Amino acid sequence: MIEHPTKSGDFAGTPLLRLRAWIGEQGADAAYVSDPVSIAYLTGFYTDPHERLMGLGITEGRALLIVPGLERESAEAGARGVEVLSWRDGEDPYELVREAIGRPQQLAVEKGHLTVAVAERLGAGRLVDAGEALRRFRLLKSAEELERLGRAAAVTDTVTGQIVEAMHPGQTEIEVGMVLASLMGAEGAKPAFESIVQSGPNSAQPHLRPTGRRLQAGDLVLLDFGAAWEGYRADTTRMAVVGEPDQRQRELHQLVLDAHDAAVARVKPGVTTGEVDAAAREVIERGGQGAYFIHRIGHGLGLEVHEDPSLDPGSQLPLEEGMVFTIEPGVYIPGWGGIRIEDDVVVERDGARMLTGAERGLRVVPA
Ligand code: ZN
Ligand code: ZN
């Protein structure tokens, strides 16, 4: 079980100071952080450096962010609490790494991210894992993070209100995905991930990417998308039908909605992640569809669209104020189609506060 001595919102200092304190507790001499998402969390600066080296070296006295020269200007403008060093193509970035971390006996790195090739070049005596600690810090959102998550959710709700109007029979799934991206762009936001648009039987495969299949009368259409705002993401799913929904589509949609509402109602500090999953699963099992709910009830959300906590069946993590995650029950019936309803919630003292809130009813696209 993971211990949470302080809420991140209450921590007296920045994530960078918190990591430095953790390094000291571990008896490590330094940390070398390589995951761009962790660097964004610690400094406020995000970039994808592609194949070029980017790393954050943290020692007792200094924090040096090493970036490719192409990123220097934006790093200096965007990164807080660090000095920026840059290297040009043709130079050896490991000279800067040496300057940033020296030759530590014990070095904290993200074992799940750092490649073996880079680890060998760092030349540390012993490596300890900082990845789990960083994920734990990110579990509880600060007020600033909640503000950004709220903006991402608000854009997503706006687009949810617009997309059904923009859909019509004959469009391909790929095309609808591009309309979603365009609507988010008009709000000044980017898609948080490649939108999932699935029509007819395709909706029975939860992670199928959009295809060239054209919407036609009678189709269920599953729309799973979200906006990103200053790095923070939303993730929602709404359902539509092309033409008038039939009875089975209506009944199963209502069942999934009841499961969604039961899980949301279960959210409260102290309740476990597994209990939230069970609240939805019981409803779907009672409706005779238990075999078709083939995934966990939800996942954490923040700088990444999937992060901790993971709300798996049977999982034991107690909820705490400041956790943010999705609630997304679904049923997937091969050959027929799938229905999922997904929202983002933050845990507050009295229960769940919804971040996303667009109308959850089954939408109708005129056939
Ligand atoms: Zn989703
Ligand atoms: Zn999700």
Distance 332 CA to ligand 2 centre (A): 15
CATH of the domain at 252: 3.90.230.10
Question: Are both 269 and 126 inside the same structural domain?
Answer: no
Spatial CA neighbour of 149 closest among 348, 326, 324: 324
**Could you tell me if 242 and 184 lie in one domain?**
yes
Using CA atoms, how far apart are residues 58 and 21, in angstroms rounded to an integer?
Answer: 11
Q: Give the end of a domain, one of 90, 123, 138.
A: 138
Give distance in angstroms: CA of 304 to centre of ligand 2: 11
Say how many Å lie between the CA of residue 326 and the centre of ligand 2.
6
* Ligand nearest the Cα atom of residue 300: 2
How many Å lie between the centroid of ligand 1 and the Cα of residue 305?
Answer: 8
Same domain, 164 and 242: yes
Give the rounded percent of residues in the chain with a pLDDT score beyond 70: 97
Tens of pLDDT, residues 279-302: 999 999 999 999 999 999 999 999
Whether residues 166 and 32 share a domain: the answer is: no
Give the ligand at the shortest distance from the Cα of 222: 1
Same domain, 62 and 172: no
Last residue of a domain, one of 138, 162, 186: 138
The residue range of the domain holding 149 is 143-365
Note whether residue 131 is domain-resident. Answer: yes
Q: Which residue has the tokens 């008009």?
A: 186
Per-residue pLDDT, 12 = 54
Q: How far apart are the CA of 298 and the centre of ligand 2, in A?
A: 6
Statement to judge: residues 348 and 219 lie in one domain:
yes
Domain end point (choices 103, 138, 173): 138
**pLDDT (tens digit, 9 = 90+) per residue, 195-245?**
999 999 999 999 899 999 999 999 999 999 999 999 999 999 999 999 999
What's the gap in Å between 281 CA and the centre of ligand 1?
18
- Per the domain annotation, does 7 fall within a domain? no
Cα 178 to chain centroid, rounded: 21
Q: Give me the pLDDT at residue 2, please.
A: 35
Q: pLDDT tens digits, residue range 1-21? A: 333 334 444 445 799 999 999
Residue 306 CA, ligand 1 centroid: distance in Å:
9
> 3 lies in a domain?
no
Tell how far the Cα of 130 is from the centroid of ligand 1, in angstroms.
Answer: 28
Question: Which pLDDT tens digits describe the chain residue by residue (367 residues)?
Answer: 333 334 444 445 799 999 999 999 999 999 999 999 999 999 999 999 999 999 999 998 899 999 999 999 999 999 999 999 999 999 999 999 999 999 999 999 999 999 999 999 998 889 999 999 999 999 999 999 999 999 999 999 999 999 999 999 999 999 999 999 999 999 999 999 999 999 999 999 998 999 999 999 999 999 999 999 999 999 999 999 999 999 999 999 999 999 999 999 999 999 999 999 999 999 999 999 999 999 999 999 999 999 999 999 999 999 999 999 999 999 999 999 999 999 999 999 999 999 999 999 999 999 9
CATH code of residue 113: 3.40.350.10
User: What does the alpha-carbon distance between residue 48 and residue 248 come to, in Å, rounded to a whole number?
Assistant: 45
Expressed in angstroms and rounded, the spacing between residue 281 Cα and the centre of ligand 2 is 16
Which of 104, 112, 102, 43 is CA-nearest to residue 78? 43
What's the gap in Å between 296 CA and the centre of ligand 2? 10
Ligand nearest to the CA of 327: 2
Provide the number of structural domains found in the chain. Answer: 2
Going through the chain in order, the beta strands assigned E by DSSP cover 30-33, 55-59, 63-68, 83-87, 106-109, 126-129, 190-191, 196-199, 220-225, 227-229, 232-233, 236-242, 298-300, 307-311, 324-327, 330-333, 337-340, 343-348, 351-354, 363-365
